[in-house]
């Protein structure tokens, strides 16, 4: 593994495996040469792999898949990904196709131009990245204490080949349910997901509970993040203890200026040695004030959203679905946030799905 590999940013994403025996070349087995220069914009490339053939599929294809890709300029790619919170480095290149791409299980697969693998130390690294898996965790938070969020859940995606990835947060509710954001669930099968909880360190969470059912709000709009509600039903009942508790739903909207708090792990690589739950106090912001801030940025704060802020802390990618709690009840589900996850969320408040607004819909789907 490259000594500068960064699991948070995917920078220096290189690894060489040494095999037990020599490769015997034949008409169906060949090695590939490494590129010594980066391909130019518009160059035709090819991508192959056995990864998933759609974002909603839970199985891998038997036959190797192939697609043509076009190299995208670094500047264009950077402009596309920076608003989503992902920073491109000099060790990355981008490729695109209007109807095809890599998916889960394709990471590490070869991007080939003119018969050469376009990855080498003096070229760039092609990486498969998705807005769902952006880097970042609670900005400006502190390590949480055991009694601050015993209902906190990490929602983990099985990506194939025994690989798991934290994608969102959530809250334990009822007998065996998790309340989270719809865009944490959209496009997945229940068998793709599991809930992990009971502890502060993500790496050593004691309980893994499989998801058996996904309920996404029928009004969910993936473009505006309106109606951003989801309930996951778990396989096993939640066993309560001093470190595991469920949380009650708020049935009324918290008043402007009310104290609240946000917890979460953000984006945590499963290979991390340690990743402690983060905590930050927040203050509820009026919907009117929040709309005045966000409307000039072409974002509408609807009746199903509430806002919260802190002059030096807020949620970031990987924190979506995390609980906003006031007076011991779940009042919000983190839904979206400002570009590049600004620490000053007074200037750009975090947006949460308003639990009280859809209390009945959530309660009807939570296992009692």
Catalytic positions are 13, 107
What one-character DSSP code corresponds to residue 149?
-
CA distance 267 to 319: 7
CA distance 292 to 289: 5
What one-character DSSP code corresponds to residue 226?
B
Percent of the chain that is helix, strand, coil (3-state, to 5): 10, 35, 55
In Å, how far are 168, 183, 230, 261, 336 from 226, measured between CA atoms? Answer: 17, 10, 12, 22, 10
Q: How many CA atoms lie within 13 A of 162 on its CB side?
A: 1
CA distance 94 to 308: 36
Show the tokens assigned to 226. Answer: 């309106």
Which residue, 144, 138, 68, 56, is CA-closest to 104?
Answer: 56
Residues 6+ apart with CB under 8 A from 149: 263, 277, 279, 323, 325
Identify the H or E element spanning 361: helix 359-365
Q: Which residues pair with 330 in a beta bridge?
A: 249, 325
What ranges make up the beta strands (E) of 73-186?
92-96, 111-113, 116-117, 125-126, 142-143, 152-160, 163-173, 177-180
Residues 6+ apart with CB under 8 A from 128: 101, 102, 103, 106, 107, 109
In Å, how far are 19, 80, 169, 244, 329 from 238, measured between CA atoms? Answer: 44, 41, 17, 8, 18
CA-CA-CA-CA dihedral for 68, 70, 71, 72, to nearest 10: -140
């Amino acid at each position: 593994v490259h000594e500068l590999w960064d699991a948070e940013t995917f920078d220096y994403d290189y690894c060489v495996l040494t095999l037990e025996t020599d490769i015997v070349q034949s008409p169906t087995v060949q090695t590939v040469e490494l590129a010594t220069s980066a391909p130019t914009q518009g160059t035709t490339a090819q991508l192959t792999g056995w990864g998933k053939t759609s974002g909603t599929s839970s199985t891998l294809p038997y036959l190797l898949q192939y697609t043509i890709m076009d190299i995208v300029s670094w500047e264009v790619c950077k402009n596309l990904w920076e608003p989503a919170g992902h920073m491109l480095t000099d060790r990355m290149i981008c490729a695109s196709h209007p109807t095809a791409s890599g998916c889960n299980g394709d990471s590490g697969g070869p991007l080939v131009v003119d018969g050469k693998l376009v990855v080498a130390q003096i070229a760039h690294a092609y990486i498969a990245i998705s807005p769902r898996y952006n880097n970042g965790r609670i900005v400006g938070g502190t390590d949480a204490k055991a009694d601050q969020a015993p209902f906190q859940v990490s929602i983990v995606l099985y990506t194939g080949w025994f690989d798991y990835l934290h994608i969102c947060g959530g809250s334990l509710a009822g007998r065996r349910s998790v309340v989270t954001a719809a865009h944490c669930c959209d496009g997945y099968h229940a068998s793709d997901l599991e809930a992990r909880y009971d502890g502060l360190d993500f790496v050593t969470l004691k309980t893994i509970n499989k998801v058996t059912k996904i309920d996404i709000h029928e009004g969910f709009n993936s473009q505006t993040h309106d109606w951003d509600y989801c309930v996951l039903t778990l396989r096993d009942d939640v066993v309560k203890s001093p470190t595991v508790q469920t949380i009650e739903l708020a049935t009324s909207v918290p008043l402007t200026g009310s104290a609240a708090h946000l917890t979460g792990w953000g984006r945590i690589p499963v290979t991390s040695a340690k990743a402690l739950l983060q905590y930050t106090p927040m203050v509820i912001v009026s919907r009117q004030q929040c709309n005045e801030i966000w409307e000039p940025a072409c974002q509408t704060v609807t009746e199903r959203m509430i806002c919260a802020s802190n002059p030096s802390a807020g949620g970031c990618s990987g924190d979506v679905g995390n609980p906003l709690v006031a007076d011991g009840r779940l009042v919000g589900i983190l839904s979206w946030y400002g570009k590049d996850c600004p620490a000053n969320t007074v200037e750009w408040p975090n947006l949460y799905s308003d639990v009280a607004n859809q209390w009945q819909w959530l309660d009807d789907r939570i296992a009692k």
